Amino acid sequence: MQQDVHLRAMTADDLVAAHGLCQAAQWPHRIEDWAFNLDLGQGLVAERDSTVIGTAMCWPYGTGAATLGMIIVSPDCQGAGIGKRLINGLLDRLDGRSVLLNATQAGLSLYRALGFAPIGEIRQHQGAAFSVPVVALAAGERIRPIGRSDAQALVALDAAAVGMPRASLIAALLAEAEGVILDRDGEPAGFALFRRFGRGYAIGPVIAPTITGAKALISHWIASNPGMFIRIDVPGDSGLSEWLDDLGLVSVGPVVTMLRGPMLDRAATPRTWAIVSQALG
């Protein structure tokens, strides 16, 4: 099968086919979510007889890091090395960078074989019926809307927490997301964005100095969107999973965060309490 499959760069014309593959894999992304990802990064498709049978995408951040995602091979073409070719095709372009991805069970052994090692876990929580928590903030802290002059501070908070410079990602998110800031004595200390994604809405990223700050930011979006389908993907070591389960945003399964290359330089505080998406990190 390998011989009649060729790889080429993904273009906007491939998004309908890519979306079809993702629906077959029961992933919730809308075409708009694919388009958002492609605008920010680059992708490869595997094609046979002019039909797209596989996809993989990457998002370089600065000169030292990147994430990999949207890796899907049509069920009837799996196990023939197409996934491996797609990932190697992207890794060739990312030489010398630390590459991060969130692996499903289906991809784990393939990624291990390509030099990725587990460094953590992401737990996907979601639901539409939840109770609204009350979170008391420390003195001097308040939640406020994001203003025009906050963008640079958000980029800096995000970069410190994730260990990757993501100015273009944050700018693209701010163009379509709503956002709130955790303000501490008049300075942005954290933030949380809320946007359309998949079956409903997603909260993320959530960047904050403390778990209480993170809970206050998340609570803001839960309280202002009763009955909406909301998803949030949190690190396994965040300590947020049980709290989210109790609120009615239940865990629907973990993915394994894997890294290839040197560890990212992440600050101890602020830290990431929810990622943007499993693909974008």
Which residues in this chain contact ligand COA in the complex, by CB under 6 A? 25, 71-73, 78-84, 103-104, 106-107, 109-110
As measured in angstroms, the least distance from the Cβ of 95 to ligand COA is 20
- CB-based contacts of 261, cutoff 8 Å, min separation 6: 96, 97, 98, 99
Backbone dihedral angles phi then psi of residue 100, each to the nearest 5 degrees: -115, 140
**In degrees to the nearest 10, what's the CA dihedral of 86, 29, 219, 104?**
-40
As measured in angstroms, the least distance from the Cβ of 74 to ligand COA is 8
CB nearer to ligand COA: give 80 or 128. 80
Closest by Cα among 135, 116, 106, 155 to 260: 116
Per-position b or e across 129-168, b if 16+ CB within 10 A of its CB: ebeeeebebeeebebeebeeebeebbbebbbbbbbbbbbe
As measured in angstroms, the least distance from the Cβ of 32 to ligand COA is 20
Residue number of the CB atom closest to ligand COA: 83
**209 three-class SS:** coil
CB nearer to ligand COA: give 104 or 251. 104
CB nearer to ligand COA: give 43 or 107. 107
CB 183 within 8 A of CB 146: no
CB nearer to ligand COA: give 117 or 132. 117
CB nearer to ligand COA: give 25 or 135. 25
DSSP annotation of 133: P
Distance of CA 35 to the CA centre of its chain: 15
As measured in angstroms, the least distance from the Cβ of 112 to ligand COA is 8
As measured in angstroms, the least distance from the Cβ of 215 to ligand COA is 29
